[in-house]
């Protein structure tokens, strides 16, 4: 009798905690919105120009973490999107850049030769999340609901759709300019859903026309996101679903025209209007407290050097490619091997370890020659052996970011830390664009605003980090954080739940 009673009580507890008992309170839909290259200060720089229902609404009604920083190097798109959704850093999740080297070979972050494109026959379809070695918010949500929750990613850039959605995502859709519509890969499905085929027919653009270079690229991204909600009926079932959206045009346009251009402003005005429409749709479909949305960015962006110099603010470029050539000449003269520095990606330099090993060279001796040559450049403040960064005599904040960004299988061996506002390539006096990748606030300070389910209006200037986003969302959903997460739930946000 006691055994039967105990079994009954255990069954009741299990039922109470189960989804069938509907006792775990969660929103109907989670929306992650990442705006590529959105500096934190854009929330206020453009504030007076925003309409009432878009980005201004996020500031006026949401909860803003005003001091959110990226805590690794380099600050680039693939890493940013991966780190937001994994709560982790390149040292652990393995996405060491948009491009990186592995065993001496160049790799694109989400390339996958084992899959084929769906909706395209071009190489743009041969993509998957397999290079990411960590789980995401979406993966953990699906695990928590026995894969009943659905997760879908949308972006123009492949890496911005794929890495946020995660390994177990139901779908990820990105734009192939060669065919002029959204595509996916056989990692997710064997053929496009009929509604996607119809969407593509109705919204096709000219082939080989880069939609990222137009404000219209923002519009088609939101249009696709809305189509996903409608056709997949996300948030309409018994389990919470997740939609990840990334706006790519803001990055491409700023790269070409800079942070203070009319072209960049036009992209943000389009973003604002499209976001206002999207939030209105979410309100009507799920209720203002029925969905949880966060907005952030994968990185910021530096002001154009020529623009700064016009206003007496120091900025310049250093010739990383030219220096690599000079360094290789020095190395060849000393060790008798050509091109011991294989490549550089931004401020990071990769050594040819195969040559070093076959030639029985001491890798530390090779590194020291590279370091000594780079340090001859006055505009380089520090040059660091990434594997020994923990003992480098450099400011702690930079040391920590090098360590977090260093993946021993995929990262460069040596990193140069230039003075502020220094690009790793020469530019001309008529150059008007920008770039990003450095530790400085212009690249590392990003917006982070929460809106909707159990979120009250407010803000905090307490230090928060890009890796804190995932554990915060997971804490609010009462699910486990991603398996390589090093961040912490943001208490002023999580504390609003009840």
Q: Rounded distance, CA 148 to CA 136, Å? A: 16
3 state SS of 319: coil
Inter-helix orientation angle 469-477/137-144, to 10°: 20
Tell me how far apart the alpha carbons of residues 419 and 278 are, in angstroms, rounded to a whole number: 41
Reference 126, options 116, 135, 140; nearest CA is: 116
Catalytic residue among 68, 75, 77, 221: 77
Check residue 480 and report its DSSP letter: P
Q: What are 229-232's contacts with CB under 8 Å, separation 24+? A: 229/29, 229/281, 229/285, 231/193, 231/195, 231/196, 232/150, 232/152, 232/170
User: What order of strands is seen across the sheet that includes strand 341-345?
Assistant: 341-345, 348-351, 414-418, 380-385
Task: In whole angstroms, give the CA distance from residue 37 to residue 271.
Answer: 13
Cα 271 to Cα 266: distance, rounded to the nearest angstrom: 9
Sign of the torsion formed by the C-alpha atoms of 94, 100, 105 and 111 = positive
- Residue 324 exposure: Cα atoms within 13 Å on the Cβ side: 22
Beta strands in 74-150 (DSSP E): 99-102, 105-108, 117-118
Token pair of 2, please?
Answer: 């006691």
494 vs 472: CA distance, rounded Å: 6
φ, ψ (nearest 5 deg) of residue 378:
-65, -30
Distance between CA atoms of residues 175 and 389, nearest Å: 39
Provide the residue count of the chain: 498
Catalytic annotation on 77? yes
What is the spatial distance between Cα 138 and Cα 80, in angstroms, rounded to a whole number? 16
The whole-angstrom separation of Cα 213 and Cα 433 is 13
Angstrom distance (rounded) from CA 356 to CA 353: 5
Positions annotated as catalytic residues are: 77
């Amino acid at each position: 009798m006691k055994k039967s009673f105990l079994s009954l009580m255990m069954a009741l507890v299990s039922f109470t905690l189960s989804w069938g008992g509907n006792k775990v309170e969660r929103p109907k839909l989670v929306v992650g919105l990442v705006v590529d290259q959105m500096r934190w200060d854009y929330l206020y720089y453009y504030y007076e120009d925003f309409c009432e229902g878009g980005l201004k609404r996020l500031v006026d009604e949401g909860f803003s973490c005003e001091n959110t920083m990226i805590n690794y190097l380099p600050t680039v798109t693939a890493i940013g999107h991966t780190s937001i959704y994994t709560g982790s850093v390149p040292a652990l999740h393995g996405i060491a850049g948009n491009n990186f080297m592995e065993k001496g070979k160049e790799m694109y972050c989400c390339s996958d030769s084992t899959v084929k494109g769906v909706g395209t026959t071009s190489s743009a379809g041969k993509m998957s999340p397999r290079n990411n070695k960590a789980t995401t918010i979406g993966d953990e949500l699906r695990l928590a609901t026995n894969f009943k929750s659905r997760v879908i990613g949308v972006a123009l850039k492949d890496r911005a759709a794929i890495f946020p959605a995660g390994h177990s995502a139901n779908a990820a859709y990105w734009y192939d300019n060669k065919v002029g519509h959204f595509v996916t890969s056989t990692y997710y499905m064997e053929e496009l859903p009929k509604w996607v085929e119809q969407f593509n027919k109705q919204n096709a653009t000219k082939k080989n026309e880069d939609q990222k270079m137009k404000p219209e690229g923002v519009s088609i991204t939101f249009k696709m996101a809305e189509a996903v909600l409608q056709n997949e009926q996300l948030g309409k079932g018994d389990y919470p679903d997740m939609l990840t959206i990334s706006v790519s045009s803001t990055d491409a346009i700023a790269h070409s025209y800079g942070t203070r251009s009319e072209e960049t402003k036009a992209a943000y005005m389009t973003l604002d209007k499209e976001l206002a429409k999207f939030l209105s749709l979410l309100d009507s479909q799920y209720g203002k407290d029925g969905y949880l949305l966060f907005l952030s960015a994968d990185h910021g962006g530096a002001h154009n050097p020529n623009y700064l110099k016009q206003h007496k603010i120091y900025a310049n470029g250093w010739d990383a490619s030219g220096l690599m050539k000079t360094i290789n000449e020095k190395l060849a003269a000393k060790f008798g091997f050509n091109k011991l520095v294989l490549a550089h990606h931004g401020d990071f330099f990769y050594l040819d370890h195969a040559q070093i090993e076959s030639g029985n060279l001491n890798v530390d001796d090779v590194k020291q020659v590279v370091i000594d040559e780079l340090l001859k450049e006055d505009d380089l403040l520090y040059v660091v052996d990434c594997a020994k960064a923990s003992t480098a005599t450099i400011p702690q904040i930079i040391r920590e970011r090098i360590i977090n960004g260093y993946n021993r299988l995929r990262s460069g061996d040596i990193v140069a830390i230039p003075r502020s506002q220094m690009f790793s390539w020469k530019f001309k006096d008529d150059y008007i664009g920008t770039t990003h990748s450095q530790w400085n606030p212009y690249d590392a300070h990003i917006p982070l605003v929460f809106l909707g389910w159990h979120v009250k209006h407010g803000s905090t200037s307490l230090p928060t980090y890009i890796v804190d986003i995932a554990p915060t969302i997971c804490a609010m959903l009462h699910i486990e954080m991603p398996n390589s997460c090093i961040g912490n739930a943001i208490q002023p946000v999580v504390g609003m739940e009840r």
